[in-house]
Amino acid sequence: MKSIEWAINKMPKSADANLPVMAISEVEKAKAFHESFPQYSETPLANLTHMADYLGLGQIYVKDESYRFGLNAFKVLGGSYSMARYIASQTGKDVAELPYDVLTSEKLREEFGQCTFFTATDGNHGRGVAWAANKLGQKAVVFMPKGSTQTRLNNILKENATATIEEVNYDECVRMAADAASKVKNGVVVQDTAWDGYEEIPAWIMEGYGTMALEADKQLRGFGCDRPTHVFVQAGVGSLAGAVQGYFANRYPENPPIVVVVEADTAACLYKGAVAGDGKLRIVDGDMPTIMAGLACGEPNTISWDILKNHVDTFVAAPDWVAAKGMRMLSAPLKGDTQVVSGESGAAPFGTLACIMTMPEYKELKEHLGLNKDSKVLLFSTEGDTDPDRYKSIVWDGNEK
């Protein structure tokens, strides 16, 4: 059985020029936009008090994104907000002037017209983009990497999008989406990864993700928790991780929580960067076999990487069995705790936390992080059972794939 690997962040700090992307004022603007949707409701924060006691922690809080807009995943937060910001930029408006009822109005259609949003996805991001485009009267084209499941493809097609599963990995699909968009009138790439020359839309997507962090932060105070001591967050390209890290670094600048970033070990580009220690990007290419399809990304978001290398404490590369363990534990809670239906990518951070607290081979990491009875740990279950058959196979039948 493969082991969890980790790298404590010793990278040189940069000027931190990208931290303002996740300024609290920007996140509040994104949350106000999401609240304008008739489908909006705050997703629950599960307070797993009995699990915390069992693992030797003070508190465990899990943000359950399986309830987000009826889409079973958080990704729609970024796609929808970036679309609104793009339309605002093209019409000379502030996004605050474009709530849902304005974006869907005939008046805006006459003023803005219609464009086609292109993206690459393993499922959740593409479904969110397709859903938002469908609701806002726009078009969407989605490229999915090999290994994507038919269920996730069908969920995207149901939103009137054009979608295909390609015979290449995620990062190649990103390039395909960018190329296709360049050949279509009013074609726009909506991708939650950034590269040199493509950073504005990814920054908007990250701000959209901030809604989830802002909700969780306020919900914590409702439980009497003034701030989390630790945050465990998953990463593919790192956009979500950068958004969460950026939010909490801005929210608690004098006393930020200790942040642990968890990746799938076969696609651990951020972890590899931390191991190298020089602060430069590292890329993982080729096939990335993992049940954590949403984390199977090998090329980091440049904006997020800058935030992460300045603020994250530890980067973790987790094997599939860790995610599967997290899925099973969350699905079968201790009596009195709330069940969290968490998919493969959603459960990886919790599985990592459980291993650190219960397995002696990770004692050194546990001590480094200072995880103990006083710790208040926040995690994000970013997806539910987005592929129900695969979820049952892992949780009910004990399969990891």
Question: Does the annotation mark 217 as catalytic?
Answer: no
- Which amino acid, residue 107? K
Q: How many CA atoms lie within 13 A of 294 on its CB side?
A: 33
Rounded to an integer, what distance in angstroms lies between the CA atom of residue 161 and that of residue 163? 6
340 and 22 in contact (C-beta within 8 Å)? no
The 3-state DSSP composition of the chain as helix, strand, coil percent (nearest 5) reads 50, 15, 35
CB atoms within 10 A of CB 212: 27
Rounded to an integer, what distance in angstroms lies between the CA atom of residue 132 and that of residue 138? 8
User: What residues does 264 pair with on adjacent strands?
Assistant: 318
Catalytic residue among 75, 135, 139, 325: 75
Question: Does the annotation mark 122 as catalytic?
Answer: yes
Task: Give the CA distances from residue 327 to residues 1, 46, 57, 168, 176, in Å, rounded to whole numbers and listed in that order.
Answer: 18, 15, 19, 28, 33
User: Where does residue 19 fall: left (phi above 0), alpha (psi -120 to 50 degrees), or beta otherwise?
Assistant: alpha
Rounded to an integer, what distance in angstroms lies between the CA atom of residue 326 and that of residue 329? 5
Pairing label, strands 116-120, 139-144: parallel
Rounded to an integer, what distance in angstroms lies between the CA atom of residue 190 and that of residue 26? 19
- For helices 388-395 and 320-331, the axis angle rounded to 10 degrees is 90
Catalytic residue among 29, 31, 122, 313: 122
User: What residues does 59 pair with on adjacent strands?
Assistant: 376
- Which amino acid, residue 223? F
User: What residues does 95 pair with on adjacent strands?
Assistant: none
Q: Of 160, 167, 108, which is closest to residue 143 (Cα–Cα)?
A: 167
Residues with catalytic annotation? 75, 122
